[in-house]
């Protein structure tokens, strides 16, 4: 894996991420057509990919290329490029597409600079990133070693330190479901095992915001199977810079197989419960 950039470059990357994500957030709100067109479907008909999704990604790609021409680009929609600098921008133009479609104000633009190869689990790590909720104007941003920051609409950023979590049986845990029915069946079976062991479960609908919510304490924990690098990259850094942990199971890196997000000691307890549940459920 390429090395983490120096302090000056990290600060630049964070600034670029914030500027690009903020502009794309404005775009998805202001340019939203009255009747939102569905441009195509991905894995199944319930995975709604809008014209706005591709438009926001194109905007992000242009802005990032102008600022950092040697970096690669990987987004949820079409049009990636390889890196010459060792850094790649991993973006989700609208994380929480279904919420966006239904005007539920919990969706996000997620922009992260990562080192390594974001297509290979365990071979990449985010070094700077920003997550914006366009509906509320809330912004989260971080860079490696720089702490996590939260900015509410029009205000200065304030330092974000994740609160001490409750015990597992008092913990409010977020999770999510994929678009593929087979995956959903597995996720529902896992939930049957986990639900009796926590305070309650929330399915809010944007992985990036859910993971940032663990940093603010709005959720105590989060787990999900099926996340892509663009769903997790920026929020992963926000949470870890806020003092939380973001891992896979049994020492694995966060990956499609599973992510578990929480502050210790809750992280250890939830990881154990999710790992045991996954063993009970078996193969997908
Ligand atoms: C989805 C959201 C959702 C999560 C899914 C993701 P998308 O991203 O983050 O909360 O449960 O796994 O695919 O498709 O809206 O960008």
| Ligand 1 pocket mutation pick from 47, 134, 184, 207 by most atoms within 8 angstroms of CB | 207
C-alpha 8 to ligand 1 mean position (Å):
33
Distance 99 CA to ligand 1 centre (A): 10
Nearest to 223 by CA among 162, 145, 277, 163: 277
Give the distance (Å) from ligand 1 centre to CA of residue 6.
32
Task: Supply the pLDDT for residue 36.
Answer: 60
What percent of the chain shows pLDDT beyond 70?
Answer: 94
pLDDT at 79: 79
Tell me what the mean pLDDT of segment 125-135 comes to: 98
pLDDT digits (tens, 9 = 90+) for 243-280: 999 999 999 999 999 999 999 999 999 999 999 999 99
CB-CB contact of 95 with 77 (8 Å)? no
Mean pLDDT on 231-236: 98
Ligand 1 atom with least separation from CA of 98 = 15
Q: Given pLDDT bands bounded at 50, 70 and 90, which one contains residue 50?
A: low
Q: Is the CB of 213 under 6 A from ligand 1?
A: no
pLDDT tens column, 73-124: 999 877 788 999 999 999 999 999 999 988 899 999 999 999 999 999 999 9
pLDDT at 280 (0 to 100): 97
Residue closest by Cα to atom 16 of ligand 1: 95
pLDDT, residue 35, reads 63
- Is pLDDT of 223 > 90? yes
> Helix H segments across the chain?
7-30, 51-67, 97-101, 181-194, 207-216, 229-241, 266-281
10 Å CB burial of residue 187 (0-12, 13-18, 19+) is buried
Give residue 195 CA to ligand 1 midpoint distance, Å: 20
Q: Whose CA is nearest to atom 12 of ligand 1?
A: 178
Tens-place pLDDT, residues 144-202:
999 999 999 878 999 999 999 999 999 999 999 999 999 999 999 999 999 999 999 99
CA distance 31 to 43: 26
Distance of CA 205 from the midpoint of ligand 1 (Å): 6
């Amino acid at each position: 894996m390429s090395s983490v950039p120096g302090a000056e470059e990290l600060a630049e990357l964070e600034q670029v991420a914030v500027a690009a994500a903020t502009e794309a957030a404005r775009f998805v709100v202001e340019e939203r057509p009255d009747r939102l067109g569905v441009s195509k479907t991905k894995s199944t008909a319930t995975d709604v990919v809008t014209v706005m999704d591709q438009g926001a990604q194109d905007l992000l790609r242009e802005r990032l290329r102008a600022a950092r021409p040697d970096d690669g680009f990987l987004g949820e929609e079409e049009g990636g490029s390889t890196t010459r600098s060792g850094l790649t921008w991993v973006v989700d133009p609208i994380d929480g597409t279904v919420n966006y479609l239904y005007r539920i104000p919990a969706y996000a633009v997620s922009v992260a600079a990562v080192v390594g190869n974001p297509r290979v689990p365990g071979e990449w790590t985010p070094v700077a990133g920003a997550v914006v909720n366009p509906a509320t104007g809330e912004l989260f941003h971080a860079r490696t070693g720089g702490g996590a920051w939260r900015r509410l609409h029009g205000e200065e950023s304030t330092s974000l330190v994740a609160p001490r979590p409750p015990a597992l049986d008092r913990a409010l845990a977020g999770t999510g479901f994929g678009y593929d029915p087979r995956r959903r069946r597995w996720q529902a079976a896992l939930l049957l095992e986990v639900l009796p062991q926590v305070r309650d479960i929330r399915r809010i609908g944007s992985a990036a915001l859910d993971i940032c919510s663990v940093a603010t304490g709005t959720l105590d924990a989060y787990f999900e199977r099926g996340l892509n690098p663009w769903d997790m990259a920026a929020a992963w850094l926000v949470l870890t810079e806020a003092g939380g942990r973001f891992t896979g199971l049994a020492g694995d890196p966060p990956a499609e197989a599973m992510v578990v997000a929480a502050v210790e000691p809750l992280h250890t307890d939830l990881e154990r419960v999710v790992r045991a549940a996954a063993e009970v459920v078996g193969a997908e």
